[in-house]
Amino acid sequence: MSLTRLLVLTVGPPVLVSAIYALTFGPPKHDRGAPAEHVGGAPLHFREGPGSSSDALARACDAAAADLSPELSAEFHVIVRPPFVLAGDLREDDLDDLHRQAVGPVATALWRSYFDRRPDQPVTIVALAGESSYRAVAASLDGYDPSAYAGYTQRGKRRIVFNMATGHGTLAHELAHILSAFDFPEMPEWFDEGLAALHESASFSRDGLTIVGTGNWRTRLLRDTLRRGELPALERVIGSPAFRGEGEGINYAVVRCFCQYLQERGMLSHFYRKFRGAVREDPQGVSTLCELLGCASLDEVDRDFRRWALAGE
C-alpha cells in the first residue's frame, strides 16, 4: 500500500503543508470530538465528457465558486473539482492535495459502499488551517460561533466548514452526511448520525476501495455505560424523537457502535440499501433490521449487539 493510503487524518496543518493533510442547518446538527484515525487513499479521477450532465455540474460549481469568493478575505483561495468547490486559507496546491488525498478518495469509497446517486449540485468545503480563521469564517459566512465544534455542515447550502488544526475526522463525518443527502434524503437521524460517526475513526481496506470504521472513544463510552447497566435499549435510541439534548453523547455512541456491529457482519451496505428502498413502509428501519439479521424482534438484535460490544474488549 502506498504512503498516501497510509496517511492518517490525525496530522495537523503543518504536516498538510509539507506532506498532505488528510482527513469531519445552522446551527450545526452534529456532535463532535471523535479523533480520526488512518483515513487516507488514492487520488480520485473524474471522467467528464462534452455535452454530459457533468458539464452542467461544472458550470454550477464555477458559479458557486464565484459566489463564495467575495465572501472570503483576500488570502483565501478557491478551486473547483466537480462536484466539489474547495476553499480555504491555504495555497491552491494545498487545496488540490486535500481534494486528491482526502476528499476524493473518501467520497469515492462512500459512493462505492453506500450511495448510488452522486451530487447533481455543488458541494462546498471550506477548510481552515487554524482556530482563529475557523471561527472568523464561521461568523462571517453563517453568523455562527463554532467554539464547541471542530466543524459543521450547512445542509441547505451544501457546505462543510471545518478546522483542520483539530486533527479530528470531521471532514469524513460531514462528507458522509452531505453525500447521503443526495442519495437517501429520508434517512432518519439515528442512522444518519451513526453512519457519519462511523467514519470519524476509520481506515481504508487493504485494496483501498472501502473505508472500515474502527473503535474510538465512543466505543469505550458504550462499554463503560453497558458495564454500569445504564445503556439505553436500542429500540429507545432508534425510536426516540429526541435524539439530541440529554443523553445525546450515549445516543451517538450507540448508533455509531451499532453501525460498526453491522459492518463487522458484512451487513452495513446491505442494510443501507434495503432500508433506503423500504423507508416509506419502515421509517426507522426496525423491520428491515430484523429481517436482515434473522431476528424476531429488535430486543433480540439488541441482545446480540450488547454481546458483541463486550466481546470486543
Q: Report yes or no on 78 lying in a domain.
A: yes
Q: Please give the pLDDT value at position 32.
A: 43
Q: Note whether residue 210 is domain-resident.
A: no
Q: What is the mean pLDDT of the chain?
A: 84
Rounded Cα distance, 237 and 250, in Å: 9
- Residues of the chain above pLDDT 70, percent: 82
Number of structural domains the chain divides into? 2
Query: Could you give the CA distance from residue 39 to residue 247 in angstroms, rounded to a whole number?
Result: 29
Q: Are residues 145 and 290 in the same domain?
A: no
Same domain, 32 and 175: yes
Q: Between these two residues, 291 and 45, which has the higher pLDDT value?
A: 291
- In this prediction, residue 169 carries a pLDDT of 79
The answer to whether residue 191 is domain-embedded is: no
Asked if residue 13 and residue 160 are part of one domain, the reply reads yes
Residue 77 within a domain: yes
Q: What grid cell was written down for 138?
A: 464561521
Residue 195 domain-assigned (yes or no): no
Residues in the chain: 313
Q: What pLDDT digit, counting tens, does each position of 30-72 carry?
A: 444 433 333 433 333 333 334 447 899 999 999 999 999 999 9
Would 208 be classed as within a structural domain? no
Query: In this model, does residue 114 exceed pLDDT 90?
Result: yes
- Residue 190 within any structural domain of the chain: no
Q: Strand 211-213 to strand 202-204: parallel, antiparallel, or no bridges (unpaired)?
A: antiparallel
Tell me, yes or no, whether 59 and 164 share the same domain.
yes
The type of residue at 225 is: T
State how far the Cα of 94 lies from the Cα of 27, in Å rounded to an integer. 28
Q: Please check the confidence at residue 10 and state whether its pLDDT lies above 50.
A: no
Q: Please indicate, yes or no, whether residues 116 and 241 belong to a single structural domain of this protein.
A: no
As given in the structure block, the three cell numbers for residue 245 are 439534548
Per mean pLDDT, which range of 37-51, 140-154, 288-302 is the poorest? 37-51
Please state the pTM of the whole predicted model: 0.83
**Element (DSSP H or E) covering residue 126:** strand 123-128
- Pair (167, 244) in one structural domain: no
Residue 75 maps to a domain? yes
pLDDT mean over 74-92: 96
* Higher pLDDT, residue 1 or 139: 139
**In which domain, by residue range, is 298 found?**
215-311
Percent residues over pLDDT 90 in the chain: 72
110 pLDDT exceeds 50? Answer: yes
Confidence of residue 242 (pLDDT cuts 50, 70, 90): confident
What DSSP letter does each residue of 133-185 carry, written as one string? HHHHHHHHHHS---TT-SEEEEGGGTEEEEEGGG-BSHHHHHHHHHHHHHH-T
